[in-house]
Amino acid sequence: MAMGLILIGATSCKQPKKETETKSEEVVEEVKEEIIEVKSIKFSMEPKSDSNVGGEVTFTEENGNVIMKASLTGLTEGEHAIHIHEKADCSSADGKSTGGHWNPTFQPHAKWGAEGGYHKGDIGNFVADAEGNATVDFATNEWCIGCDDETKNIVGKAVIVHQGVDDYTSQPSGAAGARVACTGIIQ
């Protein structure tokens, strides 16, 4: 009888320990999921300046990087500029309602990454094929989607595609010509 009691005592003592270990593992998994949370927003480009340019642009924020992917149609073959402009207002027929390049850090217009500074909207040029289609892939840790840092937050700005090429030199916007597609970046 005495032996039996000791065994039962030992068993019931171990069980509560196991439950506690399982619970703390579950908590750790929940925290990891929150850190890896991905923000993604997608927009349709609307034609401007009597163009036929359309397509979609997606912004995804993951681990401090924002990845932009655009797929565009209806372009003329060759090189075109794409920028982020300062206002999410595509209401005018020429796209000029979006204002100038988004430049929250008061830098000169230039090629992205230039030593002398560049606009946070200076994405650059891309090439459309003979069918007028193009894809643009861009990624940076200098943007965010909806964070509190206004030198990084792309929400409230616009994506503009130009008919011409950004020369990375002319001020204030690279002499890229007419604005042929527009979308506001809204959340």
Q: How far apart are CA 68 and CA 121, in angstroms?
A: 12
Q: Nearer to Zn ion by C-beta: 74 or 124? A: 124
Between 46 and 85, how does the x/- string for binding to Cu ion read (CB under 5 A)?
Answer: -------------------------------------x--
From Cu ion, Zn ion, none, interface partner of 160 (C-beta below 5 to 8 A by class) = Cu ion
Q: Does 122 bind Zn ion (CB under 5 A)?
A: yes
From Zn ion, Cu ion, none, interface partner of 48 (C-beta below 5 to 8 A by class) = none
Q: Which of residues 36-65 bind Zn ion (CB under 5 A)?
A: none
Contacts 24+ apart (CB under 8 A), 92-98: 93/48, 93/49, 93/50, 94/48, 94/49, 94/178, 94/179, 95/48, 95/49, 95/160, 95/179, 95/180, 95/181, 95/182, 96/179, 98/157, 98/158, 98/160, 98/179, 98/182, 98/184
Answer for which of 109, 157, 162, 179 binds Zn ion (CB under 5 A) is 109
Q: Does 160 bind Cu ion (CB under 5 A)?
A: yes
From Zn ion, Cu ion, none, interface partner of 120 (C-beta below 5 to 8 A by class) = none
Degrees, nearest 5: CA angle 138-144-145: 100
Q: Which residues bind Zn ion (CB under 5 A)?
A: 101, 109, 119, 122
Q: Which residues bind Cu ion (CB under 5 A)?
A: 83, 160
